[in-house]
């Protein structure tokens, strides 16, 4: 199964990308006075910086993670986003979505175990 | 004077294949976009095999960033013509791309256990993304018609 640290870093990189998405979403929900302000505000800039860090972490993690596993690990993003939606944005979550999240995690376990 | 009856059935029938064709084209474009997205993984993996900040590293890493940038631009445009739930649930296919490129380009072994895990994860992505659609309808903020 290779080095678990590389897998962990990959998951952190996906988490960083997901937080970046959340920041962009929050930024998009805030009305701005100009187009320039829509890009140059704290949340947007932090989101882009975080996304950049995420890509560097991904490349580092790929030293120990096979490409085929990477594509699957990216699916953990759905788990993070679901947690943000539920607990930060207070959006409802369906049973179907919950089952899907469980399937993603189980699938990854089956793959790496 | 009697007006000639308008044959609505015929015009409707003529419209449906045209609409289906346009839909099929958009879906094909979406899948071409996911194939492009899978290239970012290949380039990242190639960069990972090179010394940090070396010439080849910068080439591959820069390539991966460029692919992600182009992908994001096209994705945003594509969402105008495709329902969000369809677009997101189709993204499950990227798991298959990863398996394919891993096996073909990086000689990664594909075992039945790995295939099963990947299929489960892809099915999971499909459920999550289509489940989110159901939540939006229940919420009453969106109607299925708007998702068309």
Q: Kindly indicate the confidence band of residue B132, based on its pLDDT and cuts at 50, 70 and 90.
A: confident
A80 vs B1, residue with greater confidence: A80
- The average pLDDT across B30-42 equals 96
pLDDT value at A3 more than 70: yes
Q: Which domain holds residue B71?
A: 25-82
Q: Kindly indicate the confidence band of residue B11, based on its pLDDT and cuts at 50, 70 and 90.
A: low
- The average pLDDT across B36-40 equals 97
Q: How far is A15 from chain B (nearest CA, A)?
A: 16
Residue of A72, A84, A99, A108 for testing the chain B interface, max B β-carbons within 10 Å: A72
| pLDDT at residue B86, as a whole number | 85
Query: B62 and B93: one domain?
Result: no
Mean pLDDT of chain A: 91
Could you tell me the two tokens for B115? Answer: 């295939």
Q: How far is A102 from chain B (nearest CA, A)?
A: 7
Query: B99 and B148: one domain?
Result: yes
Domain boundary among B37, B64, B82: B82
| pLDDT at residue B6, as a whole number | 54
Residue percentage of chain A with pLDDT more than 70: 98
Q: Kindly indicate the confidence band of residue B138, based on its pLDDT and cuts at 50, 70 and 90.
A: low
Q: Kindly indicate the confidence band of residue B134, based on its pLDDT and cuts at 50, 70 and 90.
A: low
Residue B1 within a domain:
no
* List of chain A residues whose C-beta atoms are within 8 Å of the C-beta of residue B113: 110-111, 113
Could you tell me the two tokens for A51? Answer: 């996304």
Residue B89 within a domain:
yes
| pLDDT at residue B129, as a whole number | 86
> Each residue of B73-106: b (16+ CB within 10 Å) or e?
ebbeeeeeebeebbbbbbbbbbbbbbbbbbbeee
- The average pLDDT across A94-106 equals 94
- 21-60 in chain B: CB under 8 A from chain A: 38, 41-42, 44-45, 47-49
Query: B76 and B87: one domain?
Result: no
> Does the beta-carbon distance from B127 to A68 stay under 8 Å?
no
| pLDDT at residue A28, as a whole number | 84
Interface predicted TM-score (ipTM) of this complex, two decimals? 0.86
> Does the beta-carbon distance from B95 to A71 stay under 8 Å?
yes
Query: B73 and B105: one domain?
Result: no
pTM (predicted TM-score): 0.82
CA dihedral over A77, A82, A85, A87, signed as positive or negative: negative
Query: B90 and B141: one domain?
Result: yes
Residue B8 within a domain:
no
- The average pLDDT across A55-82 equals 94
Query: B73 and B92: one domain?
Result: no
Q: Please count the structural domains in chain B.
A: 2
Q: Render pLDDT for A18-67 as a digit per residue (tens, 0 to 9).
A: 999 889 888 888 888 888 888 888 999 999 999 999 999 999 999 999 99
Residue B11 within a domain:
no
Could you tell me the two tokens for B72? Answer: 């994001």
Query: B91 and B148: one domain?
Result: yes
Query: B95 and B148: one domain?
Result: yes
Residue percentage of chain A with pLDDT more than 90: 62
Residue of A nearest to B94 (CA): A71
Residue B67 within a domain:
yes
Q: What is the DSSP secondary-structure string of chain B?
A: -PPPPP-HHHHHHHHHHHHHHHHHHHHHHHHHHHHHHHHHHHHHHHHHTS-TTSHHHHHHHHHHHHHHHHHHHHHHHHTTTS-HHHHHHHTTHHHHHHHHHHHHHH-----HHHHHHHHHHHHHHHHHHHHHHHHHHHHTSS-HHHH-
Domain extent listing, chain A: 4-112
Query: B92 and B45: one domain?
Result: no
Query: B58 and B105: one domain?
Result: no
Query: B91 and B137: one domain?
Result: yes
Query: Which among B61, B102, B113 is the nearest to A68, CB-wise?
Result: B102
Could you tell me the two tokens for A73? Answer: 């690990």
Q: Render pLDDT for B63-116 as a digit per residue (tens, 0 to 9).
A: 999 999 999 999 988 888 888 888 888 989 999 999 999 999 999 999 999 999
Query: B87 and B146: one domain?
Result: yes
């Amino acid at each position: 199964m290779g080095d678990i640290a590389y897998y962990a870093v990959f998951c952190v990189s996906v988490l960083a990308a997901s937080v970046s998405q959340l920041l962009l979403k929050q930024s998009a929900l805030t009305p701005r006075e100009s187009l320039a302000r829509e890009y140059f505000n704290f949340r947007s800039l932090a989101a882009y910086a975080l996304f950049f860090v995420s890509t560097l972490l991904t490349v580092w993690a790929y030293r120990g993670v096979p490409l085929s596993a990477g594509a699957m690990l990216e699916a953990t993003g759905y788990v993070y986003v679901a947690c943000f939606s539920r607990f930060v944005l207070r959006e409802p979550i369906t049973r179907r979505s919950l089952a899907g999240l469980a399937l993603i995690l189980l699938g990854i376990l089956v793959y790496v175990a | 004077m009697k007006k000639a009856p308008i044959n609505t059935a015929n015009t409707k029938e003529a419209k449906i294949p045209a609409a289906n064709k346009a839909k099929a084209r958009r879906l094909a474009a979406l899948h071409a976009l996911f194939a492009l997205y899978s290239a970012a993984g290949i380039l990242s993996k190639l960069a990972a095999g090179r010394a940090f900040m070396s010439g080849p590293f910068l080439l591959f890493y820069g390539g991966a960033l460029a692919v992600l940038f182009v992908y994001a631009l096209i994705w945003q445009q594509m969402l105008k013509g495709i329902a969000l739930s369809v677009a997101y649930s189709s993204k499950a296919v990227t798991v298959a791309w990863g398996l394919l490129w891993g096996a073909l380009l990086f000689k990664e072994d594909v075992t039945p256990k790995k295939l099963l895990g990947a299929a489960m994860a892809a099915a999971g992505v499909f459920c999550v993304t289509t489940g989110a659609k159901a939540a939006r309808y229940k919420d009453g903020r969106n109607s299925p018609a708007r998702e068309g």
